[in-house]
Amino acid sequence: MKFFIIGYLLLVACLYYFFMQDKEFQESIQRGKDIYTDFCITCHLENGEGVQNTFPPLAKSDYLMNDREGSIKGVKYGRMGELVVNGVTYNNTMMPLGLEDEEVADVMNYILNSWGNSSTKMVTVEEVGLIVK
């Protein structure tokens, strides 16, 4: 009986933690959508398809899905020069967006979980904070 109660409480705690995390994750994605519409959509377009040979796609982008740190860095500080995405070489400038760390995390969570992209590990403010130029 004692074990059952302890086990039960543990389970409830775990579930509670899991659902809260999930809620936080979903809210972050939702806020990220607004950031995307404000800062990213003019180049990367509505469905993250980008512009051929000019602005790389985000939808099903191998670079975005494989280089998490590089992607966060790009959103946080902007980037310049060559970048290979899905086998195509891009050579362009993405200006620094001036986003706060929380906004970087939100928009990362949005683009990592839209248009067929999926990433279960939430990008957190702390994770963004650790990434330096």
Binding flag, residue 99, another protein (CB under 8 A): yes
Of 97 and 131, CB closest to another protein: 97
In whole angstroms, the minimum distance from the beta carbon of 48 to another protein comes to 12
Between residue 41 and residue 80, which ones bind another protein under the rule CB under 8 A?
Answer: 41-43, 45-46, 51, 54, 80
Give the span between the Cα atoms of 114 and 91, in whole angstroms.
25
**Interacting span for another protein (CB under 8 A) from 14-22, 62-70, 92-100, 125-133:** 92-100
Write the CA distances from 107 to 54, 82, 128, integer angstroms: 21, 23, 11
Binding flag, residue 96, another protein (CB under 8 A): yes
Kindly give, in sequence order, each residue whose CB lies less than 8 Å from that of residue 38, ignoring residues fewer than 6 positions away. Answer: none
Contact 69, 131 (CB under 8 A): yes
Binding flag, residue 89, another protein (CB under 8 A): no
